[in-house]
Amino acid sequence: MSFVKPHRVFEVQNVSLNTRISSVNLQIESGQCWHFLGPNGAGKSSLLLLLAGVEKASSGVLDCCGMEMSEHSLSQLAKTRCFLNQHQHCEFDIPLSQLLMFYAQRAEVPALLDTCLEINKYLHKPLSQLSGGQQQRFHIARALCQIWTAICAGQAIVILDEPTSHLDIKFQTAIMALLQNLCESGNTVIISSHDINLSIKYASHVGLVNKQKLHSQGFAQSQLNLINLQTIFNHKFIEISSAEQSHKYIVSSSNQSI
């Protein structure tokens, strides 16, 4: 993979989507790894749908790579942008290899992805024979395969809604490390997350979403603090420091008086 000089990927100015998300102002550059966190129903998925170009803003300006999002066709976006919805349903109970060919015109998953997601050994099976976690890994793999050429060029936009859902700890860590690696090559990654500590470790930037608004945003280390998180989640947390790794962990407090 080649290094690409950072550039502005998204310029979001006072963007709203009806009552689902409102007055969002945001700038995202290539090579950044954004995690959006917030309680259920806060508007995270709606924001990702807007950034993916799947939903059209009801007001405001959403610029993608120097051009208004509405000017991009879905066929154009599909070459450099992948989007994985948190709810996946497939009507075709056919082998994964055929699904992969249908979605990404590939017969198997590239080695880098397979090392992380371990999908190629299941390509002879249909989705119905896989566990929930295995299905999630396949959906992530086929989304990334769709834009693999752009990823290899460091020019891709990867948007995943709750990619770690249904995954065990091994694969949660593997996919987060993979996405971080893609960013280091110039690609842009945007996900929604419910795991604060994964975001502390792997996000470069964080947006905190609550009550259909982007409450705050910025570098992950500055945003993921007790005051912000307790405000967003209406829940008390405590911070634990690891002396061995110079790393902090944020966990739920047994005392919920805020």
Q: What is the pLDDT of residues 42-100, one digit of tens each?
A: 999 999 999 999 999 999 999 999 999 989 988 899 999 999 998 776 666 889 999 99
pLDDT of residue 247: 80
| Average pLDDT rounded to a whole number, residues 133-153 | 96
pLDDT of residue 47: 98
Burial of 190 (C-beta count, 10 Å sphere; 0-12/13-18/19+): buried
Burial of 48 (C-beta count, 10 Å sphere; 0-12/13-18/19+): buried
| Three-class SS state of 157 | strand
Share of the chain above pLDDT 70, in %: 94
pLDDT of residue 194: 93
Q: Tell me the whole-structure pTM to 2 decimals.
A: 0.94
Alpha helices in the chain (DSSP H): 44-52, 74-80, 96-104, 111-117, 132-146, 148-152, 169-184, 196-202, 220-223, 226-233
- Domain(s) labelled CATH 3.40.50.300 in the chain stretch across 8-224
Per-residue pLDDT tens for 208-245?
999 999 999 999 999 999 999 999 999 999 999 876 66
pLDDT of residue 254: 75
- The CATH number that domain 8-224 falls under is 3.40.50.300
State the pLDDT confidence band at 1, using cuts at 50, 70 and 90: very low
146-to-83, 99, 157, 159, 239 alpha-carbon distances in Å: 10, 12, 11, 12, 39
The CA distance from 76 to 68, in Å, is 13
pLDDT of residue 88: 72
Name the packing angle between helices 96-104 and 132-146 (round to 10°).
30
The CA distance from 38 to 7, in Å, is 27
| Average pLDDT rounded to a whole number, residues 148-169 | 96
* Inter-residue contact 125 to 95 (CB < 8 Å): yes
